[in-house]
């Protein structure tokens, strides 16, 4: 597989084996977790893994605490800062789903809008089985789209030089014409499925996906530091922003971290932890940064639910059944009375992780600027997962361990499914 497309695998790695709110200054969390303890937890994860740096945020009850440790680049003494930008990879998928939800609420888009309805001009060349696939099915990775599009088409996508919107216009007809898609309704993680979502949104609105994000998501949530692609400049002397690292620990300039631009709805954006927290707060409260309704209760309920039957379901030793499904850009893990929304994201040079528990008004956001080691494909996921679980134990004294154990159980099952196991 081409290196340019290896992020398709990296983006599905899971944890463990995965002015209502103004986020400028740090605020103190509940007494059980001090900012010092938060930073110490991140330092422990970094020291034991060899990661360059880690930045994180804990959002609880409307208060955000941030911490950063380590360095922006290996071999350079510039320390990581809490205001640094990180590539969040597929953690962006829920933001794509949120944009769709905003358009649905405005009456511009429908959850049951089919590919055939959105693209009648491609109907004759389209795989006929895909014509009835809906927006909702694509968001839940149940639309039959297969990311294995063949070497020739991969090369075409890799070499395309136009805008993200132009790229979607050029290649979506070719993807929709392929006959190697999986059964519709069956879970199959697909970045191209999210690219199709972006194209459908553009077709219905006559606006670019990126412009709509700015107007309907970033601006009302004051996400002022979001950038397309990896952060930073291509000046090798500039360490004002963290750099992603390859498997040998070499810091990489953005130009050396290529992603196919048309796949931006699948997750090609970078942001600060404060930007990410502003978005997450909207999912916990339903309000934007100015106190206005951003997502209705009905939309929140939908966006926080799985679509279709669970992907995995396992009974824990204590008798509690843990199930995991996929909904609107999140893995939805159910454990007792708790629903946990989680996702990891990577382009092979960065890793981001979110764990959100709406009924506890809690979210943990973790970001690092390396994922792979020279001998182990993934050194970052176990490190961030351990930090995440330690924080759950502190933040939820009664029940945190059960949630952490449930996430590990769900991830073990999901990992096998995503890699084609039984």
Query: Which domains are seen in the chain, by residue range?
Result: 13-72+268-418 (no CATH), 96-214 (3.40.710.10)
The residues near 363 (Cβ < 8 Å, ≥ 6 apart) are 58, 59, 60, 277, 280, 281, 284, 354, 355, 356, 357
Q: What is the pLDDT of residue 12?
A: 46
End-to-end CA distance of the chain: 23
**DSSP state for residue 294 in the 8-state scheme:** S
Q: What is the pLDDT of residue 128?
A: 94
CA dist 322 to 79, 174, 403, Å?
40, 39, 10
Q: What is the pLDDT of residue 3?
A: 40
**3-state class (DSSP) for residue 254:** helix
Q: What is the pLDDT of residue 14?
A: 40
Contact 241, 257 (CB under 8 A): no
Output the DSSP codes for 168-205: HHHHHHHHHH-S-PPPTTS----HHHHHHHHHHHHHHH
How far is Cα 50 from Cα 44, in angstroms, rounded to an integer?
10
Farthest CA pair distance, the chain: 63
Residue with token string 């690219």: 195
How far is Cα 278 from Cα 376, in angstroms, rounded to an integer?
34
Give me 262's structure tokens: 């048309």
- Nearest CA to 383 among 18, 136, 37, 85? 18
CA dist 332 to 35, 163, 188, 380, Å?
29, 33, 15, 22
How far is Cα 369 from Cα 88, in angstroms, rounded to an integer?
10
User: What is the reported pTM?
Assistant: 0.92
Could you list the beta-strand ranges (E) of 286-378: 312-315, 321-326, 331-335, 338-345, 351-357, 362-368
Per-residue pLDDT of the chain (422 residues; tens, 9 = 90+): 344 444 444 444 443 334 333 333 444 444 567 888 999 999 999 998 989 999 999 999 889 999 999 999 999 999 999 999 999 999 999 999 999 999 999 999 999 999 999 999 998 999 999 999 999 999 999 999 988 888 888 888 888 888 999 999 999 999 999 988 899 999 999 999 999 999 999 999 999 999 999 999 999 999 999 999 999 999 999 999 999 999 999 999 999 998 889 999 999 999 999 999 999 999 999 999 999 999 999 999 999 999 999 999 998 888 889 999 999 999 999 988 889 999 999 999 999 999 999 999 999 999 999 998 887 778 999 999 999 999 999 999 888 999 999 998 888 888 877 766 44
């Amino acid at each position: 597989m081409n290196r340019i497309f290896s992020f398709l695998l990296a983006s599905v790695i899971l944890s463990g084996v995965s002015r209502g709110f103004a986020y400028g200054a740090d605020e103190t969390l509940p007494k059980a977790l001090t900012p010092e303890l938060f930073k110490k937890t991140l330092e422990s994860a970094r020291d034991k893994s060899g990661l360059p740096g880690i930045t994180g945020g804990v959002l609880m009850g409307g208060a955000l605490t941030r911490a950063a440790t380590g360095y922006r680049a290996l071999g350079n003494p510039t320390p990581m800062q809490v205001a640094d930008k990180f590539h969040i990879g597929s953690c962006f998928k829920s933001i794509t789903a949120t944009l769709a939800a905003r358009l649905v609420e405005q009456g511009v888009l429908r959850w049951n809008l089919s590919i055939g309805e959105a693209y009648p001009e491609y109907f004759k060349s389209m795989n006929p089985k895909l014509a009835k696939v809906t927006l909702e099915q694509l968001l839940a990775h149940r639309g039959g789209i297969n990311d294995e599009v063949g070497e020739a088409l991969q090369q075409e996508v890799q070499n395309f030089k136009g805008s993200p919107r132009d790229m979607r216009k050029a290649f979506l007809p070719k993807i929709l014409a392929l006959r190697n898609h999986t059964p519709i309704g069956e879970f199959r993680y697909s970045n191209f499925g999210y690219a199709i979502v972006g194209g459908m949104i553009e077709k219905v609105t006559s606006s670019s996906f990126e412009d709509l994000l700015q107007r309907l998501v970033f601006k009302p949530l004051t996400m002022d530091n979001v950038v397309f692609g990896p952060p930073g400049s291509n000046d090798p002397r500039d360490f004002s922003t963290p750099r992603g690292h390859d498997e040998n620990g070499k810091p990489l300039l953005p130009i050396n971290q290529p992603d196919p631009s048309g796949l931006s709805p699948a997750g090609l954006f970078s942001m600060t932890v404060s930007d990410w927290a502003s978005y997450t707060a909207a999912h916990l409260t339903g309000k934007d940064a100015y106190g206005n309704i951003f997502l209705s209760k009905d939309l929140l309920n939908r966006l926080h639910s799985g679509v279709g039957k669970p992907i995995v379901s396992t009974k824990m030793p204590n008798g509690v059944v843990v199930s995991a499904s996929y909904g609107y850009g999140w893995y939805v893990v159910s454990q007792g009375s708790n629903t946990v929304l989680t996702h990891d994201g990577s382009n092979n040079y960065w890793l981001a992780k979110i764990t959100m528990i709406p009924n506890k008004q809690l979210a943990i956001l973790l970001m690092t600027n390396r994922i792979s080691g020279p001998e182990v494909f993934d050194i970052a996921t176990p490190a961030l997962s351990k930090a995440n679980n330690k924080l759950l134990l502190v933040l939820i004294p009664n029940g945190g361990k059960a949630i952490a154990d449930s996430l590990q159980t769900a991830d073990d099952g999901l990992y096998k499914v995503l890699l084609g196991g039984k």
